[in-house]
């Protein structure tokens, strides 16, 4: 079977990353978490004082720093997971905090940020054999991807999943805060000027609201095998 590019898109907390990682492992493909890249840039901006008091001070300040930002992914054999590194430091855990989540959509709106990261993402997929998840993978990054999946779940389930995930990681957050964050990100992702979140016309909808992770993976792998043939 031939190697292909598999693009997974959808709103936050709908299980894209979990599914993409499992698909990559099953197919022995490279997994790329595009959302982690935007989170890493956001964390860099926060760490360097480019985001203060709930807003970006000046997008140009972030743009001017892009050449100083290096993002890479390393596979951790002990955990069996791919981890995000920012300028050589492991930031996998900190970029998943709700503090970073509050600003990532705003940073993602910046045209130059998207252009830099899309270029990097396309380089990672040039040899195919890649599973990539995000919000514009099937529409902007890989419009010619052989398989495009639109991952979705109902809002109540998405909020519950994100809330549970944060609690398990030790973060003290309220269900209301998570609900508001998910709602805010949905709106901002869908209404931003640069590459807004939208389902590709040829994407296959996979609703996992009432599916287990195993059931979701089984459906996705079946579609991947069909696309590979």
pLDDT score for 75? 76
Give yes or no for a contact between 15 and 21, defined as CB atoms under 8 angstroms apart: no
Confidence of residue 79 (pLDDT cuts 50, 70, 90): confident
Mean pLDDT score across all residues of the chain: 92
Write the pLDDT tens digit of every residue in 139-185: 999 999 999 999 999 999 999 999 998 999 888 899 999 999 999 98
Spatial separation of the C-alpha atoms in residues 135 and 35, rounded to whole Å: 8
pLDDT score for 227? 97
Write the pLDDT tens digit of every residue in 206-218: 999 999 999 999 9
Give yes or no for a contact between 44 and 69, defined as CB atoms under 8 angstroms apart: yes
Which domain CATH number covers 106?
A: 3.40.50.300
pLDDT score for 45? 96
Confidence of residue 77 (pLDDT cuts 50, 70, 90): confident
Higher pLDDT, 54 or 109: 109
Higher pLDDT, 88 or 74: 88
Spatial separation of the C-alpha atoms in residues 38 and 36, rounded to whole Å: 5
pLDDT at 222 over 90: yes
Ranges of beta strands (E only) in the chain are 5-9, 30-33, 51-52, 55-56, 71-76, 81-86, 89-90, 130-134, 147-152, 204-207
Spatial separation of the C-alpha atoms in residues 196 and 164, rounded to whole Å: 27
pLDDT score for 155? 94
Q: Is the pTM of this model over 0.85?
A: no
Spatial separation of the C-alpha atoms in residues 123 and 30, rounded to whole Å: 13
Percentage of the chain modeled with pLDDT above 90: 73
Question: In this structure, what token pair is assigned to residue 116?
Answer: 């830099």
pLDDT score for 74? 81
Read off φ and ψ for residue 72, nearest 5 degrees. -140, 165
Determine the structural domain holding residue 86 and report its residue range: 5-228
Which residues, in sequence order, are CB contacts of 184 under 8 Å at separation 6+? Answer: 102, 105
Instruction: Quote the number of domains for the chain.
Output: 1
Higher pLDDT, 102 or 8: 8
Question: Which residues on neighbouring strands pair with residue 53, listed in sequence order?
Answer: none
Which residues, in sequence order, are CB contacts of 70 under 8 Å at separation 6+? Answer: 86, 87, 88
State mean pLDDT over 77-96: 89
Picking from 131, 163, 154, 137, the residue whose alpha carbon sits closest to that of residue 207 is: 154
pLDDT score for 84? 92
Question: In this structure, what token pair is assigned to residue 208?
Answer: 């996992």
Cα angle vertex 212, ends 161, 27, to 5°? 105
Write the pLDDT tens digit of every residue in 1-52: 799 999 999 998 999 999 999 999 999 998 888 989 999 999 999 999 998 7
């Amino acid at each position: 079977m031939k190697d292909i590019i598999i693009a997974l898109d959808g709103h936050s907390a709908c299980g894209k990353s979990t599914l993409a990682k499992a698909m990559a492992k099953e197919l022995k493909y490279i997994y790329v978490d595009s959302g982690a890249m935007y989170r890493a840039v956001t964390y860099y901006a926060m760490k360097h004082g480019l985001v203060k008091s709930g807003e970006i001070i000046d997008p140009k300040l972030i743009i001017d720093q892009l050449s100083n930002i290096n993002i890479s992914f390393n596979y951790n054999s002990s955990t069996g997971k791919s981890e995000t590194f920012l300028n050589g430091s492991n930031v996998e855990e900190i970029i998943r905090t709700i503090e970073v989540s509050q600003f990532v959509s705003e940073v993602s709106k910046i045209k130059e940020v998207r252009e830099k990261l899309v270029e990097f993402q396309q380089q990672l997929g040039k040899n195919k054999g890649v599973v990539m998840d995000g919000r514009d993978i099937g529409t902007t990054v890989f419009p010619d991807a052989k398989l495009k999946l639109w991952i979705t779940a109902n809002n109540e389930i998405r909020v519950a999943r994100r809330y549970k995930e944060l609690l398990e990681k030790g973060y003290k957050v309220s269900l209301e805060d998570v609900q508001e964050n998910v709602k805010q990100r949905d709106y901002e992702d869908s209404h931003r000027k640069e590459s807004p979140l939208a389902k590709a016309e040829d994407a296959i909808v996979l609703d996992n609201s009432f599916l287990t992770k195993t059931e979701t993976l089984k459906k996705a792998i079946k579609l991947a095998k069909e696309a590979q043939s």
